[in-house]
Structure 1
Amino acid sequence: MPEGRLVAGARLAVTTFTVLPLRPGRVDRPAAAVAMALAPAAGALLGAALAAALLGLAAAGAPPLVAGVAVVGLAALLTRGLHLDGLADTVDALGSHRSGEAALQIMKKPDVGPFGVAALVVVLLLQAAALAALPTRGWPGTLAAVIAATAVGRLAVSWACRRGVPAARPEGLGALVAGTVPAPVLVVSTAAVALAALGAAPGRPWQGPLAVLAALAVALLLLPHLVRRFGGITGDVLGAAVELTTTVAYLGLVLGG
């Protein structure tokens, strides 16, 4: 019996955004549309696991920075490092000052250049430092913050896959998901992630939603430049969007202590 679109899309969302070993299922544009719409939900589930690990390490007496670094490493493990790889490849291509096919060829190379290494170091350090500051808020604030930051990183992917944004190549992940997410889904998802961030900064209920929306705005402002440089989105561009948006959200969430 053929797998339904919703089930196939949910399976694709989980296998794209996490390392969970689900059996292969249907992969086509209708399933991809569901998967990209469900990307923030997959991020929220991942965020809950990361928050649990962070709180567990804090309760066990781990120094804050040690706990933060460990959770950053766990996040890379649970996503197979794909988004970090996408960030490095995208920044290397941008740093080359090349456009179109020449830039895409740089993104295909298996090695990481100096621009990519610098981007990885900065992003990982910022994420670890931000995570180190969260447990002081208690478990409700920490849980809300990590879920919101992780979910908005995947929400940026949903927005990058909105209708009207082209794929850079005729094949690959970008071609499968480009232009699949309708505007009403994006509005509902954005509202849901912003609401999930309400408890992320105890005593300042506005800070969580504002941090989420600011991080998403940064990604949306950068996206047109990436489309101009590369001709559209690619899997690497989506991975870069995840890491950049998540990092900016963490920064917004920890400002002010």
Structure 2
Amino acid sequence: MTDTAPPSPPASPVSPADALRFAFGTLTVLPVRVARWDRAAARGGMLCAPVAGLVVGLGAATLGGWVLLLGGGPLLAAIGSAVVPAVLTRGLHLDGLADTADGLGSGKPAEEALRIMKRSDIGPFGVITLLFALLAQVAALSGLYAAGWAIGAAGAVVAAVVARAALTLASRAGVPAARPEGLGAAVAGAVPVPLAAGCAALVALGCAALGAGVGGPYGALHAGLAALAGLAAGELLLRHCRRRFGGVTGDVFGALAETAGLIALVLLTLG
């Protein structure tokens, strides 16, 4: 007879409702109660992250459309569409972008850079990055809305969905957390690589389908390539953050979302 404890029972399968609650409860401020906070729920939740992005994008497109309908013009519509994602995330992704810029720009070793990122204030690198990111976002949306409400609305949706798909890819197996606590630690490595890749492919195809509805075959190609370019930009930033910080954090997730969404949006304005 040994004193070895019996193995713990495997976690119960996560339901689609639990996965959606995790995605909306962690990635938006919508009043959703997260029923489960374990690895199975994290895996399902991060696979559902683009669904949360779709809701955010539809909200941004709706406000932009109403502004245009009321005669506000493309620039004001663009500002409205940019406000919605910031409000629905309490600005956490933008804050993550600024904090990550401060950490990367500091040139300090990983531990000290992570301490800089955890501070409540924003340094010069963060301010500059945030300023230009928001200017580029509004400028891109304004150009799309100037070409028509449907084109601007599609751009807002594509950017929001691609931004969250970048988080799914960053949650794949093999990507470690830089800290033992926080959202980064909760979801790091939770999604199997084939599922993460499949999710990214579905997002690119969905963006292409949306582009086809707005601009025909060329619109499909344009939107699909913009989505892939946004995800590729997120991957480049992820690799750099892994080298500098040793893994991902909640701030890095925010920076990945903002970067991927912005690159997709800017690519939509070209051509």
Q: TM-score range by the shorter chain?
A: over 0.9
Partner of 1:37: 47
Map of 2:241 onto structure 1: 226
* Paired amino acid for 1:234: T
> What's the CA shift string for 1:123-151, capped at 9, x where partnerless?
11111111112234444433332222111
Q: Which amino acid aligns with 2:103?
A: A
CA-based RMSD: 1.8
Q: Which runs of 4+ in 1 moved over 6 A?
A: none
Name which of 121, 125, 130 aligns with 2:131: 121
Question: Could you state the TM-score of these two structures normalised by the residue count of structure 1?
Answer: 0.93
Query: Aligned residue for 2:7?
Result: none
Instruction: With a CA cutoff of 8 Å and minimum separation of 6, indicate the structure with the bigger relative contact order.
Output: 1
Q: Which residue of 2 aligns with 1:246?
A: 261
Which one-letter code corresponds to 1:224 in the other structure? R
Aligned to 1:167: 177
Distance 2:143 2:97 in 1: 24
SS in 2 for 1:197: helix
Structure (1 or 2) with the larger CA radius of gyration: 2
- Unaligned residue ranges in structure 1 (runs of 5+): none
Partner of residue 215 from structure 2, selected from 193, 202, 220: 202
- Report sequence identity in percent: 47
5+ residue gaps, structure 2: 1-10
The one-letter code matched in structure 2 to 1:116 is: G
Listed one character per residue, the Cα deviations across residues 222-256 of structure 1 (whole Å, up to 9, x for unaligned) are 21210111110000000000101111010001112
Residue 5 of structure 1: SS of its match in structure 2?
Answer: coil
Trace 1:57-76 onto structure 2 (pairs within 5 A): 57-76=67-86
Report the TM-score when normalising by structure 2.
0.89
One-letter identity of the residue aligned with 1:184: P
CA contact 1:162–1:182 (8 Å) conserved in 2: yes
* Aligned AA (1:231): G
Q: Which moved more, 1:176-185 or 1:84-93?
A: 176-185
**Aligned with 1:168: secondary structure?**
coil
CA contact (8 A) 1:137 1:202 kept: no
Aligned to 1:214: 229
